[in-house]
Every structure is written in structure tokens, then in C-alpha cells.
Amino acid sequence: MHGVSIFSRAAFILKSMSIVAYIGLGSNMGDKLATCRRAIEMLGKAGRVIKVSSFYCTEPIGYVSQEDFVNAVVEIETPLSPTALLAHCHVIEDALGRSRLVRWGPRTIDLDILLYGDEIISGAELTIPHPLMAKRAFVLVPLSEIAPEIVHPVLKATVLQLLHGLREDHRVSLCDASVNP
């Protein structure tokens, strides 16, 4: 890399150290689609957004006395560590008005790291792969749209295989872009 500027070398190093991660997002308060789109835009500051799934309208799970969600999955190439990516997701959630009052309750935005390369992390603040992703149609349907052959590093099954084996019967359908679900 003789004759190349220090900035070009830094960009090369960052690019060579980047990893592909998948982030699930959901919203069920306010202008759900606009909030999801803004979150995706803000995720671009953590790396390069490669793919974005369609937006899906989904029934709530757990705490069901709330509005339906809009969900999607983003594929991002990032130089950030898993904990730095999580911190960036929390900054986005805070900027978009997220409050954590009720577990699985209403939220303006929720960002979850589903996969980070093929890494397996089990900690108090962060678990990757996301511990519930293989049981949630609202995660597997949009993830299978953009990465059907990606392998869950713990379960050793593709996203498509996980989706086909899913026993959950919660509604997940494409959102109509002409309305705010």
C-alpha cells in the first residue's frame, strides 16, 4: 500500500475487520413505518447497510394488550464490536423515544442484534445469537427474506429450516405501504 494516504489505509483496515450482523427492529407506537425507516437510516452510522427486508405487520407476543407491530431485519457490515453495536442500537432507541416500562410492552422502536457473524456470546448484557430468534416468526420471516441460508451458530440450522420448523402461529404479513399499520 505504498503511496496510499493514511486515510485509505485506515479505511482498508476497517473494511478488512468488518463483520456482517443482522439486526431485528420493531415498532408499535406512533408512525411505526417512519420510525423503522429512521432507525435503519441511523444504523448506517454503525457501518454499511447491505440489505433491508420488507416491513411486516405482526401481532404482539407476551403482553398482547397493545397495537400490532411493524417488524423488519437489517443486514449490516460493521467494524463495531458486538458491545459497541449494542450501545449504538441503544443510542438509536433513546433518540427515537424508547422507554422500557413493560417487558414486551409498547415501544417506539426496538433494535435487537440477532446474529453477529458466527459468534456465540453469552453475557449479562448481550446474548448472540438472540435467544428467542429461532422461536419468533416476526424475526424469522423477514430474516429469511434477506438471508435464508445463514446458519444459526448454536442450532446449526439455516434460517429457512428454522422457519419451516416453527410452531408459532402469530400473524406475520406484509405491511401495506399506503397505511400506517
From 48, 68, 110, 169, active-site residue:
110
Annotated catalytic, 107? yes
From 94, 98, 136, 176, active-site residue:
98
Annotated catalytic, 112? yes
Helix, strand, coil content of the chain in percent (nearest 5) = 35, 25, 45
CA angle, residues 46, 49, 53, in degrees to nearest 5: 130
From 48, 100, 112, 176, active-site residue:
112
Which residue bears the cell 405501504? 177
**CB-CB contact of 47 with 18 (8 Å):** yes
Query: For residue 155, what are the contacts with CB-CB under 8 A and spacing of at least 6?
Result: 134, 162
Annotated catalytic, 94? no
From 107, 118, 136, 169, active-site residue:
107
Phi then psi dihedrals of residue 151, to 5 deg: -100, 130
- The residues that are catalytic are 98, 107, 110, 112
